[in-house]
Structure 1
Amino acid sequence: MIPSHFTKTLLKTLNPKPIRFFHSSPSPSRIHKLISSQSDPLVAYEIFHLSSKTHPNFHHSYSTIQTLILKLPHSRHFSLMNSLLSSLKHDRRYTLTPSLFTHIIRIYGETNSPEKALKTFYTMLEFDVKPRPKQLNVILEILVSERRYLRPAFELFKSVNRYGVCPNVESYNILMRAFCLNGDLSVAYQLFGEMSKRDVMPNVESYRILMQGLCRKSQVNRAVELLEDMLNKGFVPDGLIYTTVLNSLCRKKKVVSDSDAGKKKLREVYKVLCRMKVKGCDLDIVHYNTVLEDMDANGCLPNLVSYQTLVGGLCSQGLYDEAKSYIDLMVSKGFSPHVSVWHVLVNGLCGVGKVDAACSVLEGDDGGSPKPNDFNT
Structure 2
Amino acid sequence: MKCCIHSPSFIINSYWKTAIIRSSSSLPQNLNQKHEPSSFSSSTGMGWSPARIQKLIASQTDPLLAKDIFDLAAFSQPNFHHSYSTYHTLILKLGRSHKFSLMQSLLTRLKSQNYPVSPSLFTQIIQIYGDAQLPDKALQTFYKILEFVNTKPLPKHLNCILQVLVSHRNYLRPAFDLFRSAHRYGVSPNTQSYNILMRAFCLNGDLSIAYSLFNQMFKRDVVPDVQSYRILMQGLCRKSQVNKAIDLLEDMLNKGFVPDTLSYTTLLNSLCRKKKLKEAYKLLCRMKVKGCNPDIVHYNTVILGFCREGRALDACKVLEDMTFNGCLPNLVSYRTLVGGLCDHGMYDEAKKYIEQMRYYGFSPHFSVFHVLIKGFCNVGKIEEACGVLENMLKHGEAPHLGTWVEIINRICSVEDVVTTEDVLKEVLKVEIKLDTRIVEAGAGLAEYMIMKIRTRSRNS
Common fold, TM-score beyond 0.5? yes
Determine the C-alpha separation between the residues in 2 that align with 1:73 and 1:46: 16
Report how far residue 213 of structure 1 moved.
1.0
1:9 to 11, 15, 23: 15
Name the aligned partner's letter for residue 199 of structure 2: R
1:103 to 88, 105, 124: 124
Say yes or no: does 1:313 pair with 2:322.
yes
Larger Rg: 2
The residue aligned with 1:327 is: none
The residue aligned with 1:22 is: 41
Report how far residue 18 of structure 1 moved.
5.3
Moved more, 7-16 or 68-77: 7-16
Determine the C-alpha separation between the residues in 2 that align with 1:247 and 1:30: 58
Percent of pairs identical after alignment? 58
Alpha carbons of structure 1 residues 189 and 49: separation in structure 2 relative to 1, 3 Å:
same
Alpha carbons of structure 1 residues 235 and 11: separation in structure 2 relative to 1, 3 Å:
same
SS in 1 for 2:157: helix
Alpha carbons of structure 1 residues 312 and 167: separation in structure 2 relative to 1, 3 Å:
same
Name the aligned partner's letter for residue 119 of structure 1: Q
Say yes or no: does 1:156 pair with 2:165.
no
1:278 to 264, 267, 289: 289
2:163 to 141, 153, 157: 141
The residue aligned with 1:257 is: none
- Show structure 1 runs of 4+ deviating over 6 A: 290-297, 306-310
Name the aligned partner's letter for residue 116 of structure 1: K
Would the aligned equivalents of 2:92 and 2:124 in 1 still touch at CA under 8 Å?
yes
Name the aligned partner's letter for residue 117 of structure 1: A
Determine the C-alpha separation between the residues in 2 that align with 1:54 and 1:294: 77
2:190 to 157, 165, 168: 168
The residue aligned with 2:217 is: 195
Alpha carbons of structure 1 residues 277 and 308: separation in structure 2 relative to 1, 3 Å:
farther
How many matched pairs? 306
Determine the C-alpha separation between the residues in 2 that align with 1:120 and 1:106: 10
Report how far residue 307 of structure 1 moved.
10
Would the aligned equivalents of 1:285 and 1:314 in 2 still touch at CA under 8 Å?
no
Determine the C-alpha separation between the residues in 2 that align with 1:293 and 1:83: 64
The residue aligned with 1:123 is: 144
Correspondence list, 1:162-311, <5 A: 162-253=184-275, 265-279=276-290, 280-282=292-294, 284-286=298-300, 311=320
Query: Relative contact order (alpha carbons < 8 A, sep ≥ 6): 1 or 2 greater?
Result: 1
The residue aligned with 1:339 is: none
Would the aligned equivalents of 2:303 and 2:318 in 1 still touch at CA under 8 Å?
no
The residue aligned with 1:58 is: 80
Moved more, 265-274 or 138-147: 265-274
Would the aligned equivalents of 1:169 and 1:203 in 2 still touch at CA under 8 Å?
yes
The residue aligned with 1:72 is: 94
Unaligned runs of 5+ in 2: 1-8, 21-30, 334-358, 362-460
Determine the C-alpha separation between the residues in 2 that align with 1:309 and 1:181: 32
TM-score relative to the length of structure 1: 0.71
Unaligned runs of 5+ in 1: 254-264, 323-350, 354-377
Alpha carbons of structure 1 residues 13 and 218: separation in structure 2 relative to 1, 3 Å:
same
After superposition, the C-alpha distances for 1:108-156 in whole angstroms (9 at most, x for unaligned) are 1222211111111111111141222212212111111111111111111
Name the aligned partner's letter for residue 275 of structure 1: R
